[in-house]
Structure 1
Amino acid sequence: MHNDGMHEASPPTSQPKNPLHGMTLETIVRALEARYGWAGLAERIPVRCFSHEPSVNSSLKFLRKTPWAREKVEGLYLFMLREEKRTNKPGA
């Protein structure tokens, strides 16, 4: 049999372990803003879209064009989820 590698290219259909799977960037930005506020976001990720006339729309526009900043936002969101899970543990 000849393997041409076609089966290796298909992406996994579900990612149950990935907390970002199915999350929109807007949902992430809104959750972070609700938790930290714009000033707290600007402190944690120093970009103008969080510190100068911040809004969800301006942040989304910037983050969609700036992969490194989007990665930082996603990383902060994952950190926030871990913190919430740790502080909400029963018996903690």
Structure 2
Amino acid sequence: MQDAPPPPVQPRNPLHGVTLEAIVTALAAHYGWKGLGERVPVRCFTSDPSVPSALKFLRKTPWAREKVEALYLFMLREQRRTARDAGRPG
């Protein structure tokens, strides 16, 4: 029996290896549920929000998942920019 081929390496994909749960948790920690609901206005973020309910919805709703992933990438860029700017002499 042959093993499955290894998944392709994606060194430039910042989402590679990051779970949806990790993304939702990081966004909720960074923006708060209220802020997350303002940026991606879906009920799983605005009405009794929780990670499990968000995961259930996002796994079934590709357009919402794309918005959440895009917001996560934006958050990472902002964090890198802030860290870079903090290291520069004022």
Say yes or no: TM over 0.5: yes
Residue 49 of structure 1 is aligned with which of 37, 44, 51?
44
RMSD: 1.6
Residue 17 of structure 1 is aligned with which of 2, 12, 34?
12
C-alpha separation in 2, matches of 1:11 and 1:75? 27
Q: How far apart are 1:13 and its partner, in Å?
A: 1.5
Cα offsets for 1:11-40 (capped at 9, x unmatched): 972111111000000000000000000000
The answer as to 2:64 corresponding to 1:69 is yes
Name the structure 2 match of 1:7.
none
Give the TM-score taking structure 2 as reference length. Answer: 0.87
Structure 1, gaps ≥5 residues long: 1-9
C-alpha separation in 1, matches of 2:74 and 2:7? 25
Larger radius of gyration: 1
C-alpha separation in 2, matches of 1:41 and 1:62? 15
Give the TM-score taking structure 1 as reference length. Answer: 0.85
Which portions of structure 1, spanning 4 or more consecutive aligned residues, are displaced by more than 3 angstroms?
A: none
Cα offsets for 1:32-73 (capped at 9, x unmatched): 000000000000000000000000000000000000000000
Give the SS at the match of 1:91. Answer: coil
Task: Kindly provide the amino acid, as one letter, of the partner of residue 88 in structure 2.
Answer: G
Identity among equivalent pairs (%): 70
Give the SS at the match of 1:88. Answer: helix
Q: Count residues in correspondence.
A: 83
The answer as to 2:88 corresponding to 1:91 is yes
